[in-house]
Chain A
Amino acid sequence: MEISDDLDATPSAEDVFEHEVEKVFQETLGLIHIALVTHYQLSEQEATELEKDLFVWFRRFCYRPGASVRENRPYLLVACCQFAREYQKYVVGTGVRESDEKLRSILDREPADVAHDFSRSLQLFDFRRSDA
C-alpha cells in the first residue's frame, strides 16, 4: 500500500497567508452580515453578493504593504459600511426602494464612524475570546 506523504508537506508562506485572510474574513462575516442586513437594510441576497465583493477586495487589500491580516480587520468593516452606503444610496436615489428614518439616519453617518462602532463589538469579541 502506498502511503501519501501529504502529511509531511509544509504549507507555503503564501498558503498560510491566504488561510489567515479567509479565517479573519470568516470571523468577521457575522458582524458584516448584521451590518448589511440589520443596519443598512439590504436583502439577504444583496448582502450575500456584497459580501463576495468584500472578500475579493479584502484579499487584495491584505497583499498591500503595511499591517498584518488581523490588524486589517477594522478596515474590512470600513469597506463594508462604505459599500453598503454607496449601494443603498443608489437604490434609494433611483426610487426603487423607499427609505425610513432608521435607514436615513445611518446613510447620513460617515461609514468610518459606523465602522468604528462595529469595531468596538470586535474588540469585545476578542476580549471574550482571550478570556476564554
Chain B
Amino acid sequence: MPDTARILPFRARPVAAAYSREEAAAKAAAYIATPANQRTLASLDEVLADGDVLMALIARLWEIINTSPASVADEASQVHKWVTSREPRHFFFDERDYFLGESALLAGASLRLLGKREETERWLDRSDAAFRHTVAPAAHLARVSYTRLALRYDQHRHEELVELTPSVSLTFKKLGMVIDYAKCEFLQAMSLKQLGRLDESATLLEGLATGRHADAGLTGMVLVNLGDLRADQGQLDKATLAYAQASPLLQQAKRYAALADLKMMLGGMLQRTGQLTAAIEALRESVKDHLDLGMETRAAYVRLVVAGALLEAQRPREAEWEILAAMPTLDEQKMATEAAGALALLRASVQQRKTDPKALLRLRECLQGNN
C-alpha cells in the first residue's frame, strides 16, 4: 500500500439524515401538499435524495391511491423520473432498483384505476424490470403480477384470471402477506362472479367478509360485491344488509371509488325493484363521484346505466344526453369489435333521436367486464 494518504471518492452516497419515522412522514406529507409548480429543484432533491423520506413518500402515495389516483399517477411518475436521472452510486445497495420498481408500480396501479390500460402495462413492465434486480424480488414481483391480474379483470379476461390467480395467491400466502393474499382471493371471486360461477364466488366473498385480513376497505369492497351478487340472485334482503354493512367501512377507509360503485349497485337494485326515480338519483350520484375522482372511463360506463334507467322511466331525451356525454370517453377506449359495433349502433340511434335500448344494453354488457 502506498505511504501517502489518498481520499477515495467511492462512497459518494450522502449519509442518511437519520430522520425518525414521524419526521420522514411529515416531510413527505409537506412535499405532497406543495403544488408541483411551487416545487424547486433544490426542494425536490432535498426530499427525494433522502431514502427515509422517499420511503415515507411512497408509503403515503399507496395510502391515497384509491382516493386520488390521478395525483398519485403524476407524483409516482415524477419520482420515477427523478430516480432514473440518478446514478446507482447515489443509493444504498439495491435501493435505486427498489425505488424505480415501487414508483413504477404506483404509477401503473393508479393509471389502471383511471382506466388508462396501455400506459398501465408500460409502467408494470418498468416495475418488473427494476424489481428483478432487488435483493429479495419475490414479494414485489408478485405485487406486479397482482396488478397485471387486476388489469386482466378490467379487460374481461376472466378465464385467464381464474387460471393464473392461484399461483400469485400462493406466493403471498407463503410470504405471510395477508392483505395481498386476501386481495388475490377477492379478484378470483370477482372473476368467478363474472363467469356465472355464483356459488363459488359467494363462498369466497363470504369467507373474505369474515376473514382475518383486518382491512376495512377490502372488507367494504367484498360486502359491496357480495350485495351485488345477492341482488342478482334475487335475495334483496341479504343484498341490502351487505350494502348497509359496506358503507361505513368504505367511509372509514376513505375508499371513495368503492363508495361510488356502491351507489351504482344500489341504483341497479332499485331499478330492478321498479323504484326508478330513486335508482336514477343514486346512479347520477355515482357518475358525479367517479368524475370527481378523475375516473372518466368508469363514469362513462355508469352514464350508460343511467341512460338505461331513464329509458325505462320513459325519459328518452335525458337518456340521449347521458349517452352523448359518455361518447367522447368511450371513443377514446380501445374496444373489441363487438363493443365498437354496439357503440356505432347506439350512436346512430341517438342521432336519429330514437335511442335503441337493445344497442344500449349490448354496449353495457360488452363494457361491463371492462368496468
Contacts and interface: CB of A to CB of B under 8 A. Distances in A.
Interface in A88-103: 90-91, 94, 96-98
A56 B136 contact: no
B51 interface: yes
A66 B177 contact: yes
A72 B142 CA distance: 17
A65 B92 contact: no
Contacts of A57: 92-93, 95
Q: Tell me what chain B mostly uses at the interface: helix, strand, loop, or mixed.
A: loop
* Interface bracket on B: 20 to 34
Interface in A43-86: 49, 52-53, 56-57, 60-61, 63-68, 72, 75, 78-79, 82-83
Interface string A25-36: 000000000000
Interface in A14-42: 14
Given A14-B21, A90-B10, A96-B1, A67 B136 contact: yes
Given A49-B11, A82-B93, A91-B8, 9 more contacts: A56-B51, A60-B55, A64-B139, A65-B177, A66-B138, A67-B176, A78-B135, A79-B94, A96-B2
22 contacts: A53-B11, A56-B15, A56-B16, A57-B92, A60-B55, A63-B55, A64-B98, A64-B139, A65-B140, A65-B143, A65-B180, A66-B136, A66-B140, A66-B177, A67-B136, A67-B175, A68-B176, A72-B136, A79-B93, A87-B11, A90-B10, A94-B8
Interface of A: 14, 49, 52-53, 56-57, 60-61, 63-68, 72, 75, 78-79, 82-83, 87, 90-91, 94, 96-98
Interface of B: 1-2, 6, 8, 10-11, 13, 15-16, 21, 51-52, 55, 59, 92-95, 98, 135-136, 138-140, 143, 175-177, 180
